[in-house]
Chains A and B, each alone.
Chain A
Amino acid sequence: ILNVEQSPQSLHVQEGDSTNFTCSFPSSNFYALHWYRWETAKSPEALFVMTLNGDEKKKGRISATLNTKEGYSYLYIKGSQPEDSATYLCALWGADNNDMRFGAGTRLTVKP
């Protein structure tokens, strides 16, 4: 079974705070990791696709790192804004399966 774990489940921060959360996966079964941003009442939107150990991706104030040897990825948000409030999903393509497995997400709330 390919388990993708995200922590924490939810997070409340103040506007201007920087924050980060984790996606963990079996290091023995990795091909690609996707991060999505999912606002309430909207569709999940792709943020990053990461495939190589040590990958770092950045989009504005959001960045992500990948460690395939230890089986985790971090998503960082610098200077959080209320519009960053959303659920952040990670999803793993394993080496042995033909589909993408999603974590349950981290729900971020940024208070003004």
Chain B
Amino acid sequence: NAGVTQTPKFQVLKTGQSMTLQCAQDMNHNSMYWYRQDPGMGLRLIYYSASEGTTDKGEVPNGYNVSRLNKREFSLRLESAAPSQTSVYFCASSLYSGRGYTQYFGPGTRLTVL
């Protein structure tokens, strides 16, 4: 099993450009998440999908959109990238979205917006 995979690993964008970060899991998990990691801060939740067909905002959703394409895949889209979105993005999944369920993380995407 590959677990949680993310593409791309690295990306440089210019301000105003758009892009989609892809995430897939092969653990048959129902719930998926997108986080961003900034220096000196904890992982912050952008959006999550408790189950296929549902998405909800997390702590920092502004400037992002998501799509739960199917049970395996959850994408994050930046419509008009801004320098404040320079960060490392992590996708995660869990069996369910309940509070005791462990989240499994992908390797991250390092995004730089110039």
Interface residues, chain A, with chain B CB atoms under 8 Å away: 4, 31-32, 34, 42-46, 49, 51, 89, 91, 93, 98-105
Looking at chain B's contact residues, the main secondary structure is: loop
Residues of B within 8 A of A89 (CB): 42-43
Partner of B99, one of A4, A44, A45, A93: A93
Partner of A104, one of B42, B97, B104, B106: B42
Q: How many A-B contacts at CB < 8 Å in the complex?
A: 53
Count how many chain B residues have C-beta atoms less than 8 Å from C-beta atoms of the other chain. Answer: 24
Give the shortest distance, in Å, between B74 (CB) and chain A (any CB): 15
Cα–Cα distance between A49 and B40 once the two chains are bound (Å): 24
Partner of B107, one of A42, A51, A99, A105: A42
Give the shortest distance, in Å, between A10 (CB) and chain B (any CB): 11
Q: Answer whether A43 and B107 are a contact pair too, CB < 8 Å, given A99-B59, A100-B45, A103-B42.
A: yes
Partner of A43, one of B4, B41, B59: B4
